[in-house]
Amino acid sequence: MSVKKAVHTIDWEAASDEDILNSRIKDLGLQVPGSILEPFVNRLYEELAARGIGFHPPCYLADEWLCPDKTPIIGIPFWLAHRRLKAIEHRMMFEVEGGADDVCMKLLRHECGHALNYAYELFKKTRWRELFGTFTANYSDSYYYKPYSRRYVIHLQDSYAQSHPDEDFAETFGVWLAPESRWQEKYRGWPAVNKLRYVDGLMKRIGGQAPKIVVRERPPWAASRMVSTLAAYYERRRRELGSSFLGYYDESLRALFATDGAGGSAKKASKVLRAHRRLIADYVAKWTSHRKYDIYQLINRLISRCDALGLRARSSEADNIIGMASLVTAIAGDELRFLRENHK
């Protein structure tokens, strides 16, 4: 006779953060229905219905934002399903991707674009390939982009449409679907408007059709089957992110600047760095071959961490500038050079 294993669920009101972190993810009892995510999913479906699109991709809780390759289903990070988990996500990773309402909807529309692409196999259409590129192009964890290009829409951060043809379509769809986006006006004169017009006509043609591909198997990376503890999950994520982890350079910043307790009268490090951001970027750009745009992005990331850590500037302004310029140059030598050399 088989014996069923007991399922342990969390008492969200009584449990401490450490209790939650030491729980297996599958035992958290999470699901989209009835969670704080449900209104966002319903809103997505309402937007699709308003555009005459009958297929509403199923949504489930996964370990990250994703639409499994060629599978028309949307995975939403499980830690967005409960306010306590969102707080722990911020504590552990210093950010919550999709935590803000508007960003959550942008990400849902983006993933929905992937789902429709796969459900109707749009990537096989000749015009799709002409506008967006080859669907089978290699993916990479990082990409080199032109921040001011008008050949792509602006939807998610870091010009994500430029990372891959499939992402370009999903981003274009996301802009097209958003209510009151006024894409005809915003993108008038941009080459990207041709992609938006294509999506507009395409959705009108296929909106009432049944999808060619439907989900028949259990989706991958489902939170309901994750046996690792939440703490182990975060340890793995930090290790996999490496230098992309938001707090990766915290120790270097602490070595450069003082903490709040070291002297309340000292200026905030972030304020000093913002005042000299252009000068630091000019120095780094002069002695490296990196774009100023990328250097600014890196400096802004470090400034944000200075604020989060409560760091104060040293008494010597020159030391602050030289120290930050040296750190940015060292980081750029690793991160930005790899990015450029692998995405020419």
Question: For the segment 242-260, what is each residue's pLDDT rounded down to a tens digit?
Answer: 556 667 888 888 888 887 6
- Whether 240 is covered by a domain: the verdict is no
Q: How far apart are CA 73 and CA 41, in angstroms?
A: 12
> Which residues pair with residue 62 across a beta bridge?
77, 222
Question: In this structure, are 206 and 312 located in the same domain?
Answer: no
Question: In this structure, are 168 and 45 located in the same domain?
Answer: yes
What integer pLDDT is reported at residue 233 of this predicted model? 93
Question: In this structure, are 189 and 117 located in the same domain?
Answer: yes
- Whether 216 is covered by a domain: the verdict is yes
Q: Indicate the residue among 193, 225, 257 that finishes a domain.
A: 225
Amino acid letter, residue 188:
R
What integer pLDDT is reported at residue 75 of this predicted model? 97
Q: How far apart are CA 275 and CA 252, in angstroms?
A: 20
Question: In this structure, are 253 and 219 located in the same domain?
Answer: no
Smallest CA-to-CA distance from 234 within 73, 18, 36 is with 18
What integer pLDDT is reported at residue 335 of this predicted model? 56
- Whether 323 is covered by a domain: the verdict is yes
- Whether 2 is covered by a domain: the verdict is no
Question: In this structure, are 52 and 177 located in the same domain?
Answer: yes
Smallest CA-to-CA distance from 35 within 66, 72, 78 is with 78
- Whether 243 is covered by a domain: the verdict is no
If DSSP codes are grouped into helix, strand and coil, which group holds residue 268? strand
Which range has the worst mean pLDDT, 173-187, 193-207, 324-338? 324-338
**What is the DSSP pairing of strand 59-62 with strand 74-77?**
parallel
State the pLDDT confidence band at 95, using cuts at 50, 70 and 90: confident
The better pLDDT of the pair 12, 6 is held by 12
Instruction: Please list, in sequence order, all residues whose beta carbon lies within 8 angstroms of the beta carbon of residue 204, skipping any fewer than 6 positions away.
Output: 52
- The neighbour count for residue 43, using CB atoms within 10 Å, is 16
Q: How far apart are CA 132 and CA 206, in angstroms?
A: 19
- Structural contact between residues 227 and 24, judged by C-beta atoms closer than 8 angstroms: yes
- Whether 11 is covered by a domain: the verdict is no
Q: How far apart are CA 204 and CA 344, in angstroms?
A: 37
Residue 198 has pLDDT above 80, yes or no: yes
Q: Which of 267-271, 287-291, 333-337 has the highest mean pLDDT?
A: 267-271
> Which tens digits make up the pLDDT trace of 50-77?
999 999 999 999 999 999 889 999 999 9
Question: In this structure, are 182 and 214 located in the same domain?
Answer: yes
Torsion angles phi and psi, residue 193, rounded to 5 = -65, -25
Question: In this structure, are 264 and 196 located in the same domain?
Answer: no
Question: In this structure, are 38 and 178 located in the same domain?
Answer: yes
- Structural contact between residues 220 and 64, judged by C-beta atoms closer than 8 angstroms: no
Residue 127 has pLDDT above 60, yes or no: yes
Q: Indicate the residue among 191, 225, 259 that finishes a domain.
A: 225
State the pLDDT confidence band at 264, using cuts at 50, 70 and 90: low
Question: In this structure, are 197 and 286 located in the same domain?
Answer: no
Question: In this structure, are 114 and 260 located in the same domain?
Answer: no
- Whether 236 is covered by a domain: the verdict is no
Sequence-ordered strand ranges (E) for 190-325 = 258-259, 311-312
Residue 4 has pLDDT above 90, yes or no: no
- Structural contact between residues 91 and 308, judged by C-beta atoms closer than 8 angstroms: no
What integer pLDDT is reported at residue 321 of this predicted model? 86
Tell me which residue range forms the domain holding 140. 17-225
What integer pLDDT is reported at residue 197 of this predicted model? 98
State the pLDDT confidence band at 80, using cuts at 50, 70 and 90: very high
Question: In this structure, are 131 and 262 located in the same domain?
Answer: no
- Whether 33 is covered by a domain: the verdict is yes
